[in-house]
Amino acid sequence: MHPNREAFRGKSLVFISQPAPKWIRHDDCVWTAPAPLTQVIRLESSYSDCKNLFSDFLGVKSAGIRHVVEEFCSLSRGAWVDQADRFEELLTLLHGYLAKGLTLDVSETRSMNTARAFPVMKPGNLSHESATIVLRSLDDNDWYIPDKTTLELAFRGRVNLLKLSVRSVQLMMKVWVELGCKGLFLSSVVEEKVELGGVRIRNKSKEKELRTRLKYLAR
């Protein structure tokens, strides 16, 4: 190993001034990261002229799926006031990585499944804005994901529902498949039936027309 690279290994030789001045290891940083990731330390912000040193020579990578998972799981610790907004923001980011062909490993999948980071609306209020929100994990089996508009409207305020629009749920389908939680979809647990309603009214003119046609067909 190059002696200069070895000097950086395991030692806090990178100075960061924000949010609080401190020395850290380059292994605890990323070179750059998407805006929704707020807990990572981006070296590009402080050392934009040193890409050859940090990225090329020391191997500091850009943020990846692992960082999204870590930040997502931090939601379970109540680290954010706007839990529901952060939840959707991070899942959208995760979906972007999955759309590029990346996948979660076993430990990352398990971490997301057990994290109480999914904002669920409790029954009793039809409004998204005033609903009581509790955090649930995918291991809990007392809540559902609204994947169809008709079902969401029928069950809103009656059962525990994920605070996410049907449109967002459908756009993040790769996430649900990757996490193996499609069994929580309302469409998976509800059987829809279409029944005729109202009063039956005979269409006598239509009946007369059909009888006339039948006469010609019977010849």
Q: For residue 89, is it within any domain? A: yes
Angle at 169 between CA 164 and CA 174, to 5 degrees: 140
- Give me the pLDDT at residue 126, please: 61
- Give me the pLDDT at residue 164, please: 94
- 47 with 73, same domain? no
Model pTM greater than 0.85?
Answer: no
Residue 75 and residue 81 in contact, taking contact as beta carbons nearer than 8 Å: no
Nearest Cα to 66, choosing from 35, 89, 97, 41?
Answer: 97
- 95 with 53, same domain? no
Q: For residue 167, is it within any domain? A: yes
Residue 80 has pLDDT above 60, yes or no: no
- 41 with 73, same domain? no
Residue 217 has pLDDT above 70, yes or no: no
Q: For residue 124, is it within any domain? A: yes
- 157 with 84, same domain? yes
- 174 with 75, same domain? yes
Residue 200 has pLDDT above 70, yes or no: no
Residue 79 has pLDDT above 70, yes or no: no
Q: For residue 29, is it within any domain? A: yes
Residue 139 has pLDDT above 60, yes or no: yes
Number of domains present in the structure of the chain: 2
Q: How confident is the model at residue 83 (pLDDT cuts 50, 70, 90)?
A: confident
Domain that includes residue 47, residue range = 3-57
Cis peptide before 19 (omega within 30 of 0): yes
Q: Out of 7-16, 21-30, 161-170, 191-200, pick the least confident.
A: 191-200
- 73 with 27, same domain? no
Residue 151 and residue 186 in contact, taking contact as beta carbons nearer than 8 Å: yes
Q: How confident is the model at residue 206 (pLDDT cuts 50, 70, 90)?
A: confident
Alpha-carbon gap, residue 44 to 7, rounded angstroms: 21
Q: Comparing 120 with 202, which gets the higher pLDDT?
A: 120
Tell me the DSSP string of 22-36.
EEE-GGG-BS---TT
- 12 with 51, same domain? yes
- 92 with 11, same domain? no
- 98 with 174, same domain? yes
Residue 3 has pLDDT above 60, yes or no: no
As a whole-number percent, the residues of the chain with pLDDT over 70 amount to 84
- 99 with 180, same domain? yes
Residue 29 and residue 42 in contact, taking contact as beta carbons nearer than 8 Å: yes
**Half-sphere exposure of residue 190: CA atoms within 13 angstroms, side-chain side:** 20
